[in-house]
Structure 1
Amino acid sequence: MLVTVGVEEEFHVVDLNTRRLVDRGPELLSVLPDEGFTAELHRSMVETNTRPHRGIDQLRDEIVDLRLKLIEAAEPLGLGPIASGTAPLAAPTLGSTTPVPRYLDMTELYRQLSREQLVCSTQVHVYVPDRELAIAAMPFASPWLPLLLGLSASSPMWMGTDTGFASWRSMVWRRWPTSGPAGEYASAAEYDATAEALVRSGVISGPGMIYTDIRPSHHVPTLELRICDSCPDVEVVALIAALFRALVLHACAAAAAGRERPVVRRELIQAATWHAARWGLEGGLVDPLLAAVVPAEQALGGLADMLRPELESCGDWEMVGAGIARLLADGTSAARQRRAAAGRSWDPAAAVDQLLAETRSGCRSRSAAPDVEPVAERSA
């Protein structure tokens, strides 16, 4: 039986006339069904939640369905959702908190940090019913997560300027006190004791505020991926979901077999994450085993090869190979946004237009894409 996977997507809400971020998320949610849609920290965001699926095709279909419902509800209001790590046009004073106790408490505690969290992510949940195994598996998966960030990079702009990063969202996000690579724990009890200590310290209000790049969900039996930007292209979301599921299966098998954990220091994982945030795929990626920057094709091909047994068992091998090749040919969303903005002598509104179109289409037209061989096949 295939292990299920689900996705949470966060969207910025922009005004279709000005292309600027606006705090009208609650108004949009008021005309949407309760199931599948929810509020986020800021009123300028909305979130969608899929059901768990065994097949990536079925997951993709629900992601598209939720996006279409969101867009159809937004357009009569003069609004448009964009799936990107940051909104290219936003005011630094916008940060209007959604008025629910949890979010209001966060704003009171974290002040400017909370107000500036105008960022959106893609989160993937993979079913792992054994919590001990899920926690034991995290160190086996952690070294490879920066590669998934590189795939998702979609936030080059902040407040109308080019940050020089492919994922500025990552830089903003890493200011939270519990963000970054997950730690290593001898047991679920040790993990829970650490979470309790963090709550007692007053730094966080509950286990749901442990914001590491991978974590056991505090409310469902899953391992959760939290490192990725929100992605305008549904095909990239599907690719990340398939890779993360395979990585979780691979890590759980290694932990269950008692294999030695990979000797990749936390500092290197942090450096690899920074590198992926800075350059996306366009500047190569850090191979965690070589501890060196290599071409993105080599790093992603190596990851696919490592996960080939799991990808084949899930029926995802060919899809993943083709998806990686397509993304390498097209470039990241960050690169496409820069090209769009530069085409008008630096106009961030052009990047918003592109994000609106890509979020709407779900999957950009591939008619102009070169006929490329899947990277996983080339590297095999």
Structure 2
Amino acid sequence: MTKKRSLGVEEEFLVVDLETRRLTPLAQAMLDRLPEEGFAAELQRSVVETNSTPLEDLADVRAEIVRLRQALVAAGEPLGVGVIASGTTPLAGVEGFTISPGERYQYLSDSYQFLAQEQLICGAQVHVEIDDRDVAVLAAQRVEPWLPVLLALSASSPYWQDADTGYASSRALAWQRWPTAGPVGPFKNAEEYDQTADDLVASGVIEDRGMVYFDIRLSAHVPTVELRVCDSCPLADDVVLLAGLFRALITRESEAVLNGEPPKGEERLALLRAANWRAARSGLEDDLLSPITSRPSSAPQVITWMLDDLRPALEEIGDWELVSELADEALRRGSSASRQRGALAQNGRPQDAVDLLLRETRMA
């Protein structure tokens, strides 16, 4: 059996008032009730982040995600606040748009103006262990055509400033406005990647390498490659599904690089951007673009084909049974975006969509 690469998960959560269901800038008050390890502030005072410890087994990853979420819930309840894991919120509120204190956050606000001031979006990031940076750069580019499918599975942000955007992931569109967001490469090796990162810093457009926001990027500090396209997911199982699929992709493509195998398809930037847009628009409820042919098919067809294609890697890692089961459940439920719209449609109350997100986020 192939050695399981360790995984780490970062999740961002929106902090909401349990009475009004609107955003509230009380993230720091929650953090004051939590240990420093595993929890952090974000750019907006109504957003809080969790960071899991690196783990190998997906069941352990899930347990860690649930543990961190339950700690957030416990810290928030005495303050009258809760957390929702979604890309955006059905109910915003003026108080939600408040920049956190600190030099870095002030720099972001001063430099990027409305991009930072409107950065009221939350994502789920997955880090996968990989020691060889040259292999990591090449594998990341081979994995990139598959990322829109992962975005579709995570889509949880249909609303922006109290209105339905018509998209399953409005967060994905908002995120792409940042100057270094988007596809990675093309790079031949880690040296080219690092030189580009250094050149971006030298340009003055970003302050440091931490602001290189490629859809999939190499860590500047630890030997990992990071998935950055996904919305925050209210259900912990969906985060585990994304982690398992991403690890399988990185594992397979890293081995293909080492074996000198050519990529399955030619990466074309325009089609990759189109696939990302399609995933943000559709979620799981409409067509996606095939990672290989760039032709439209229903989301269930694309995801089923992706699972079949990844099955040898998933079986070798030992994740096939769990990942395939979680994928089936995700397709049966539909996207979080669709579930939120359904909750709101019942009585026309956006509060009901927030309540759904609160329940799903705290589910064990």
Aligned-partner Cα distance in 2 for 1:289–1:313: 23
Normalising to structure 2: TM-score of the pair? 0.97
Correspondence 1:325 to 2:328? yes
Q: What number of residue pairs does the alignment pair up?
A: 361
Counterpart check, 1:88 vs 2:90 = yes
Which residue of structure 2 aligns with residue 184 of structure 1?
186
2:177 aligned residue (175, 178, 193): 175
| Structure 1 position 264, deviation (Å) | 2.5
Q: 1:111 aligns with which of 113, 124, 133?
A: 113
> What is the aligned partner in structure 2 of residue 313 from structure 1?
316
> After alignment, is 281-290 or 139-148 more displaced?
281-290
CA distance in 2, matches of 1:239, 1:259: 27
Contact 1:88 1:352 in 2 (8 A): yes
Q: Which moved more, 1:132-141 or 1:228-237?
A: 132-141
Return the offset for 1:95.
2.3
Q: Please report how far the alpha carbon of residue 257 of structure 1 lies from its aligned counterpart in structure 2 after TM superposition.
A: 1.8
1:88 positional shift: 1.3
8 Å Cα contact 2:44-2:96 kept in structure 1:
no
Letter in 2 for 1:285: L
Equivalent residue, structure 2, for 1:216: 218
Distance 1:4 1:349 in 2: 38
* Partner SS, residue 15 of structure 2: strand
RMSD, aligned α-carbons: 1.1
Residues 137-196 of structure 1 show CA distances to partners (whole Å, capped at 9, x for unaligned) of 111100000000000000001111111000000011010011111112111111111111
* 1: CA distance, partners of 2:20 / 2:105: 27
Equivalent in the alignment of 2:301: 298
The answer to whether the 8 A contact 1:214-1:226 is kept is yes
SS in structure 2 at match of 1:2: coil
8 Å CA contact retained: 2:128, 2:224: yes
Match of 2:290 in 1: 287
Query: Is 1:166 the counterpart of 2:171 in the alignment?
Result: no
Deviation at 1:284, TM superposition (A): 2.1
- State how far apart, in whole Å, the 1-side matches of 2:248 and 2:269 are: 22
**How far apart in 2 are the matches of 1:283 and 1:316?**
27
Counterpart code for 1:136: L
What displacement does 1:93 show? 6.8
Shift of 1:280: 0.2
1:339 counterpart residue number: 342
Which piece of structure 1 moves more, 288-297 or 350-359?
Answer: 288-297
Deviations 1:275-304 (A, max 9, x none): 010110100211021211111122111211
Given that 1:268 and 1:288 are in contact with CA atoms closer than 8 Å, whether structure 2 keeps it comes out as no
* CA distance in 2: counterparts of 1:92 and 1:75, whole angstroms: 22
Identity %: 50
Q: Distance in 2 between matches of 1:93 and 1:106?
A: 19
* 1:84–1:229 CA contact under 8 A, matched in 2: yes
> Given the two structures, how large is their TM-score scaled by the length of structure 1?
0.93
CA contact (8 A) 2:25 2:95 kept: no
- What do the CA deviations read for 1:294-330 (whole angstroms, capped 9, x no partner)? 1112211121122112211221111111111111111
The residue aligned with 2:129 is 127
Q: Is residue 275 of structure 2 the alignment partner of residue 272 of structure 1?
A: yes
Q: Could you tell me how far apart the structure 1 residues matched to 2:131 and 2:102 are?
A: 31
Map of 1:376 onto structure 2 = none
1:120, 1:220 → 2: CA distance? 23
Q: Which runs of 5+ in 2 are unaligned?
A: none
